[in-house]
Structure 1
């Protein structure tokens, strides 16, 4: 893509168009519904400048979303994955989108990034996890927009990854799915988030919890912020919730963090209430 092509694209793309591309750059994959929730507000839903006008109904917002995505697709700025969420019956709402070749080059030029990012068709499990993580990120943004929380920072992968030195001096990586800082009055709440689709065995979850313990022992976050983040596994149902809670409680090496209340296991439906501290948010959205 040449400079003149980029300049002409900038002139032809709206602020919302560019925001959609940036969202796909951050989250790697989004369904039509997730893009609607992010960029096409309904009625009195709070919006920012990049979202454009509000739509009277969810149907009107859905139609506008599909129209905009079709236009971006026609310019190869975005492309649909072969796999649909919910099968063929889900229709356009089940389409999964990622950046297309032109969109990837456009954003690399816009950000001055020389490293080309490969966009191939990932595995179904990877897509499911990516979309689950994106859904949680969007829930946080929705809560922020409606004033339920003040969302100070939201980091997706790989921005949210942390590096530290182990007790033996070896470099280690902690790779959460999301990191968020929210505010409630004069208090900040720091949170690492793990999107769990019940595909990992309990020992894998325990090993990840032990990595958080090692990162806490390094003291890096505490030195900068004066506290260590809570860690939340967000799971699909209560059966998975109970299994992870029991696995964490049974690991004696995690006893201090468990007793300190730094580990939380919540269902997807409980996630908004967990974030806001309000029981009335258990079914939002």
Structure 2
């Protein structure tokens, strides 16, 4: 190790999340009691959102149980995937749900199914498109509509209704970037570059714990992933993933790194993972590639200079370096 350890710690040496292979096989997060926060009522907007009153424009659905019986397995999977991510583009839904098909036919199939789910008021679309009007229907962004929200509550046994809030562009870009990470991991698994054993999206990826002085705290990674490389390997590499879009200051990112270090020192994650603490991967981009590279270097230097941080805990990469990193067992 070449970095500063910041004093002695009773927890084991940081490793890249290596432990006995997990039996989990999920590559997306189901909507259930554990992550029902995505569907619960919210009287205030998400950070970075503004409220838009809901207006009914299509035929009302009265028998939700009958509608539930009409849906196929893929319909349910699409709904749960969109609910998990809050917002997904057509291309992302195609990659997650129709990836076994050739790209052109997969896109057409996705568009047909999404049009039907939209007509049934299970999904709705944002007015803004990714890539502008020239992107056509593939640039549409979907979210759970009123009937879809009722259907998911019916399926999960939830009772609280979640109000829709029109996202700001900054919030939307971050949510879609998180989805891009998930898509990249699913595609890498499909192509047998790595074996994706688990991929939790926030808030399922969050860790609640009791800190110093009895304070109840929450560590909030964007994603948590477990992979094996090569596929079938008996060892599993785990990591927390943070997606940075170039909108936060470097001191803010360093503060988040300190939260990970404070959580590591408690040993909670190590008790769950045979003594290993997951690597913390910062996937950093920005509107300008040169700015993104400067920010990656600045964060690396700030971590190295902080005596309270272990630099072997953090991996700082560009988005296109994620899968190669996973193939190397989260080792740089």
Moved more, 219-228 or 235-244: 235-244
Distance, in Å, in 2 between the alignment partners of 1:10 and 1:99 is 15
Higher relative contact order (CA 8 A, sep 6+): 2
- Alignment root-mean-square deviation, CA: 1.8
Instruction: Map 1:226-241 onto structure 2 (within 5 A).
Output: 226-236=275-285, 237-241=292-296
| 2:298 pairs with 1:247 | no
Query: Does the 8 Å contact 1:25/1:99 carry over to 2?
Result: yes
Quote the Cα distance in structure 1 between the aligned partners of 2:180 and 2:161. 26
SS of the aligned residue for 1:155 comes to: strand
Q: Match of 1:222? A: 270
Could you tell me how far apart the structure 2 residues matched to 1:228 and 1:11 are? 43
Pairing of 1:81-100 with structure 2 (within 5 A)? 81-100=126-145
Q: Contact between 2:250 and 2:295, CA under 8 Å: does it hold in 1?
A: no
Conserved? CA contact 2:242–2:282, under 8 Å: yes
After superposing on structure 2, the runs of 4+ consecutive aligned residues of structure 1 that deviate more than 6 Å are: none
- Residue 269 of structure 1 pairs with residue 314 of structure 2: no
Given that 1:165 and 1:218 are in contact with CA atoms closer than 8 Å, whether structure 2 keeps it comes out as: no
Q: Deviations over 1:233-257 (max 9, x none)?
A: 1012433322221222222221xx2
Structure 2: 5+ residue stretches without partners = 1-59, 286-291
Partner of 1:282: none
Aligned residues: 260
1:283 maps to what in 2? none
Match of 2:148 among 103, 125, 135: 103
Instruction: Give the TM-score of the pair, scaled to structure 2.
Output: 0.74
Distance 1:75 1:223 in 2: 46
Q: Write the distance in 1 (CA, Å) between the matches of 2:327 and 2:146.
A: 39
Distance 1:3 1:119 in 2: 18
Could you tell me which residue of structure 1 aligns to residue 49 of structure 2? none
Higher helix share: 1
Residue of structure 2 in register with 1:188 after alignment:
236
Q: Which moved more, 1:156-165 or 1:102-111?
A: 156-165
Offset at residue 58 of structure 1 (A): 2.1
8 Å CA contact retained: 2:89, 2:141: yes
Paired with 1:216 and 1:137, the residues of 2 have a C-alpha distance of 24
Taking the aligned partners of 1:227 and 1:58, their CA distance within structure 2 comes to 39
Structure 1 residue 211: Cα displacement: 0.3
Following TM superposition, by how much is the alpha carbon of 1:66 offset from its aligned partner in structure 2, in angstroms?
1.2
Q: CA deviation at 1:4?
A: 7.6
The TM-score normalised by the length of structure 1 is 0.86
Equivalent residue, structure 2, for 1:23: 81
Map of 2:207 onto structure 1: 162
Aligned residue in 1 for 2:248: 200
Return the offset for 1:148: 2.0
User: Structure 1 CA distance, aligned partners of 2:294 and 2:140?
Assistant: 29
Match of 1:10 among 48, 68, 91: 68
